[in-house]
Amino acid sequence: MKVKLIFSFSLLLLVFPQTLLWAQSQKGEPISGIFLGITFERFAERIEANTGYRFFFKNEDVEEVKVNFSADKNELTDILQALFANTTLRFFIDDDGNVFITKGRVIDGRVHAGYRLLPNTQADSIEKAQETITQRESSDLDQYTLWEIGSAATHDGSGIAILKGTVRSKSEKSPIPGALVTGPQISERVVSDQNGNFSLRLPLGRQMVMIQGFGLGQERRNLNILGDGSLDIEMEEDYISLGEVTVSSTRSVQVEKVQMGVSTMDISTMKRLPLLLGEVDVIRSILTLPGVSTVGEASVGFNVRGGAADQNLILYNDATIFNPSHLFGFFSAFNPDMVSGVELYKSGIPIQHGGRLSSVLDVEGTYGNDEQIKGGGGIGLLSSRLNLEGPIGENTTFHLGGRTTYSNWLLSLLDESTGFNNGRASFFDINLNMKHQLNDRNNIMLTAYVSGDSFRFERDTTFSYYNRNLNISWEHIGHADLSFRTTVGYDGYEFNILSDLSPSRAFDFDFGINQFHLKTVANYTGLEKHKIHFGASANLMELNPGRIAPSNEESLVLGQRVDLERGLESTLFLNDEWELSEKLSLSLGARLMLYQFLGPADIDIYREGVIKTGETVVETIGFSTNEVAQNYFGPEFRFFARYLLNQHSSIKAGFSSSRQHLHLVTNTSAIAPTDTWKLSDPHVRPQLGNQVSAGYFTVIPSKNLELSFETFYRTMDNLLDYRSGATLILNNALERDILASEGKAYGVEFLLKKDIGRLNGWLSYTYSRSLLRTSPEELGQKINNGRFYPSNFDQPHDVFLVLNYEITKRVMPSLTANYSTGRPITLPIAKFDYLDVERVYFSDRNAYRIPDFFRIDASVNFEGNHRIEKLAHSSWSVGVYNLLGRSNPYSAYFTPINGTLQGFQLSIFARPIPFVTYNFRF
């Protein structure tokens, strides 16, 4: 029903009658009329037909301009300014009513004195007529030259002129966002936007304008303002803080965007966090955000708003990374050099993503710059990385990066007495991202990723796992406000245990998943006040849940294989972001998901109303290849509303629902390397989730503070728990061991953030609960007698403080502190004799907690000499992880010592761990 409603909203707007009302206009006279949804070309024709204005422009320049307004005796200047506000188009109207429209450069009737004015300028072709004052070289000359801006002739006489322009970096020609434009006579605080554009109002006459980029030094221009005009500025970048500053223009994004529960973090922010062994770690970084927690330091899995770790979709440029960890969970699998930033969606998940209950972590990869071949890398205690980026030919850029460890030879150096010298642990990952521009409207992007891990504690058993991802995207910016992006790709994961303890017991165990996906997302902006996204996707998942085979001829191990599983997820989606008024915006979206469990499969049918066991099988139905054994169909909704209270604050509310067909089969609290996956089948229903949330977002501009407060309530159904003593590995009838559970989670999240200033950072606090219970419909033994109990990751209080202080531009210390409630644990609480053997009685599930977690990390980043001519630019990062040396328990367990049970707590990083990392760019 709700889906239909959205369609009707859109239709209403489409059929709105295009009424035109023309006032009699003459040259220089105001313009009236309603111009709805027409091209600029058509607009110009109408104006020319009714006024004395004559337009000069290139058709391809204005193709993208959509005219959508009504005018009532407005000046053409104002109209054009509004029309071109977010474009690179500039215009100039001469005294004869000739309107010149140009891209990027402004035509000025009164050209700078230093330039020669061509004769017959206005009669000539438009290309000849233009002269710009775009300054190209940043030099002392620029600083002391007097630049004339605008034309007194075209000025409206108000005494105030509008100066527009773009700030770019000198070397990369990339736009510089966040540059501050100030001057003695400029009252407002103007900051360049994400495309480097700025616009400010100035009184006429001699002016001085200063442009300051964070770490970009300062540029100064002496201007003589005669009228409206533009001034492009190129700034020399300072290697010190390249891209290190969070753009202040994003300050209000949190307030203004309709979606909530979205956090972004750019790579430069992550690079400053003091992290374990100095490894920049995408996943550990997002743990600093409210609503995100982890069960322990040795686990890369994270929990979002009380959801399990498998409920997070982790994407790298649209590729699903099934195991985002290296070295059995100590490090995440993303090479920081190949990442520009991450976005974590805790509730306002973009409509094109779905299929997971808790969150989407969208890691954005980089495609390389288009100016010159550059490289960089880092040498850490544990791993080294290297990357190379740049253009190939005219329209293609690439970014190639790799990482590897030296832990192997380090382990072999260890003394025999440590018992680790036979251990081996190594990893690598390789990224290749490419972007090719076919033409102005079409781009092709390639993302390729491989990661591998191999480790063994004993000589005889080797664990290894691999991620493999490849996808190609085609981005098309079409005519008529429609653009789309199509992605096709493959994601794979494989886990393997190879054991050759003795020839007779040698085995090879593996499981894996292959996923083929195709997705098209279209973006339509043709309707005023609507941003419409729609599309379709298909996702074929092939699962090998487990296979064991003798690894040699002598082996007595019996080969065994769990049936392969196949499932197809097909989705149609539509989202409309609708600006109802200046203050109220809605985002309404729905995804219709059809999941099909495909043959070949043999499905056991059990007698109704009894526990599923081997005895209660009534019959077994065989399905042939590609025959649909089970359909699950249902919607995912995304409804959000934002109301702007004032310029600086807003309130938001939202509802979202989600469905998940791929389940991690785990019986441990952390993500263990041996955890395998399971697809929904006739017995394992899709996990379902609902979430309502509300929030208040505000910025305090005078203090550069951003503050947000969100609250949420979630329910989850069909979660997988397991009967006591379940066998999870190599179980061909897993449904007999599954105990369907339901969960609820609720909490409040608070974030106070300061991005600007020498002292910056953020404080996040989360209070949340995450509770589970065995589904009341479940037969047989229920966990804790069917009552709600805390989930493994129920950590009510979680506080994270991140502080950065810039002593000088070259020395920047950082400090992080984290406190969280200890996670729940099931403890042995009594012992007894049974069958003449002493045994242990365990408490209710998760009735107790391990001690609370508290850790402080500190680091200092030292930037080297940052002269641009230097061959390589280097920086050092020195720090200490767990500065206080507190032993934060990861796990607690009881084991018999001399016949008596003794409890132990295991801390992974119980001492301060110093680190040093060397980074370089060339």
Partner 1 sequence: MRRVLFVSWMLLLLVSCREIFEPEVVFVDFGFLVVEGNIEVGGNEDGLIRLSRTRSIYDSTASQTITNAEVWAESENGDRYFFIHNGTGNYLCQETIPFGQNYRLQIRIADGSAYTSAWLTPKRTPEIEEVYFEREEDEVFIYLDAAGGNESDYLFWSTREVWQFATPFTSFYRLDPDLGDLVVRDEVRNICFKEENGGNILLAETSRFENGKINRQMLTRIPEGSEKLGIRYSIEVAQRSIDVEAFEFWDIMRKNTDDVGGIFSPMPSIIPGNVRNVDDPEEPVIGFVGIGSTERKRIYINNGDVFPWRTQIPDYNNCVLQDTVLSFQFSTYFANDRFVALYGIETLDENLDFAIGYLTTTLFCGDCTLRGELQAPDFWEERW
Cβ proximity to partner 1: between 708 and 818 the closer is: 818
In three-state secondary structure terms, 30 is coil
CA neighbor of 572 nearest in space, from 499, 607, 521? 521
Residues 514-543 that bind partner 1 (CB under 8 A): none
| 879 binding partner 1? (CB under 8 A) | no
At its nearest, how many Å lie between partner 1 and the CB of residue 782? Answer: 9
Among 252, 255, 261, 260, which Cα is nearest to 650's? Answer: 255
Under a CB-based contact definition with an 8 Å cutoff, are residues 607 and 618 in contact? yes
- Among 145, 249, 570, 667, the residue binding partner 1 under the rule CB under 8 A is 667
Residue 47 or 825: the one with the smaller Cβ distance to partner 1 is 825
**Shortest separation between residue 619's beta carbon and partner 1, angstroms:** 16
- Name which of 250 and 887 has its Cβ closer to partner 1: 887
Question: Binding segment for partner 1 among 457-465, 508-516, 531-539, 833-841 (CB under 8 A)?
Answer: 833-841
Phi-psi map region of 409: left, alpha, beta (phi>0 left; psi -120 to 50 alpha): alpha
Whole-angstrom distance, CA of residue 323 vs CA of residue 628: 29
Distance of CA 611 to the CA centre of its chain: 43
Stretch that binds partner 1, among 169-177, 516-524, 528-536, 717-725 (CB under 8 A): 717-725
Answer yes or no whether residue 422 interacts with partner 1 by CB under 8 A: no
**921 in contact with partner 1 (CB under 8 A):** no
Q: In this chain, which of 785, 786, 811, 872 binds partner 1, going by CB under 8 A?
A: 785
What minimum distance in Å lies between the beta carbon of 276 and partner 1?
Answer: 9
* 703 near partner 1 (CB under 8 A): no
CB of 232 to partner 1, least distance (A): 47
Residues in region 363-402 near partner 1 by CB under 8 A: 381-382
Closest distance between partner 1 and the C-beta of residue 862, in Å?
17
Q: How many degrees, rounded to 5, is the angle at CA 443 between CA 441 and CA 447?
A: 165
Q: Which residues of 467-486 are buried (b: 16+ CB within 10 A; e: fewer)?
A: bbbbbebebbbeeeeebbbb
d(CA 208, CA 144): 10
Q: In one letter, which amino acid is 660?
A: Q
Alpha carbon 402 to its chain's center: 21
- Least distance to partner 1, CB of residue 843, Å: 7
Q: Which stretch binds partner 1 (CB under 8 A): 25-33, 555-563, 690-698, 835-843?
A: 835-843
Q: Is 144 in the site for partner 1 (CB under 8 A)?
A: no
Q: Is 914 in the site for partner 1 (CB under 8 A)?
A: yes
Query: According to CB under 8 A, which one of 623, 637, 848, 854 is a site residue for partner 1?
Result: 848
Q: ∠349-344-317 over CA atoms, to 5°?
A: 85
> Going along 204-357, which residue ranges are E strands?
205-212, 218-225, 229-230, 233-235, 262-266, 292-293, 303-304, 312-316, 319-320, 325-326, 331-332, 339-345
Tell me which of 225, 277, 662, 883 binds partner 1, using CB under 8 A: 277
- The residue among 184 and 725 lying less far from partner 1, judged by its C-beta, is 725
Q: Which is nearer to partner 1, 669 or 859 (CB)?
A: 669
Nearest distance in Å: CB 411, partner 1? 7
Among 59, 125, 702, 900, binds partner 1 (CB under 8 A): 900
Q: Are 283 and 303 in contact (CB under 8 A)?
A: no
420 forms part of the interface with partner 1 (CB under 8 A): yes
Non-local CB neighbours of 197 within 8 Å, separated by 6+ positions: 164, 165, 166, 175
Closer Cβ to partner 1, 132 or 888, answer by number: 888
Q: What is the DSSP string of 542-556?
A: EEEEEEEEESSTT--
Interacting residue with partner 1 among 250, 395, 690, 826 (CB under 8 A): 826
Instruction: Give the 3-state secondary structure of residue 310.
Output: helix
Closer of 464 and 891 to partner 1 (Cβ) = 891
Residues 6 or more apart whose Cβ sits within 8 Å of residue 477:
440, 441, 442, 483
Q: In the complex with partner 1, which residue's Cβ is closer, 119 or 614?
A: 614
Supply the minimum distance, in Å, between the C-beta of residue 811 and partner 1: 22
Closer CB to partner 1, 382 or 629, in the complex? 382
Instruction: Assess contact for 118 and 109: CB atoms under 8 A.
Output: no
Stretch that binds partner 1, among 149-157, 183-191, 221-229, 905-913 (CB under 8 A): 905-913
Among residue numbers 572 through 611, which ones bind partner 1 (CB under 8 A)?
Answer: 611
Write out the binding residues for partner 1, residues 613-652 only, by CB under 8 A: 613-615
Nearer to partner 1, 555 or 680 (CB): 555
- The CA-atom distances, in angstroms, between 346 and each of 209, 715, 820 are 42, 14, 19
For residues 69 and 77, what is the distance between their CA atoms, to the nearest angstrom? 14
CB hemisphere CA count around 843 (13 angstroms)? 13
Does position 839 interact with partner 1 (CB under 8 A)? The reply is: yes
**245/255 Cα distance (integer angstroms):** 20
Among the candidate windows 559-567, 696-704, 707-715, 830-838, which touches partner 1 by CB under 8 A? 830-838
Binding positions for partner 1, 296-315, rule CB under 8 A: 298
- Neighbour count for residue 318 (Cβ, 10 Å): 23
Q: Which of 18, 439, 724, 808 binds partner 1 (CB under 8 A)?
A: 724
Beta strands in 755-882 (DSSP E): 759-774, 789-790, 797-805, 811-820, 824-825, 828-834, 837-842, 848-849, 853-863, 873-881
Q: Choose one: 164-172, 266-274, 599-607, 826-834; the region binding partner 1 (CB under 8 A).
A: 826-834
* Angle, alpha carbons 839-840-846 (nearest 5°): 160
Is 668 a binding residue for partner 1 by CB under 8 A? The answer is yes
Residues of this chain, 311-370, that bind partner 1 according to CB under 8 A: none
Q: With CB under 8 A, what is the number of residues at the site for partner 1?
A: 74
The answer to whether residues 620 and 640 touch, using CB atoms and an 8 Å cutoff, is no
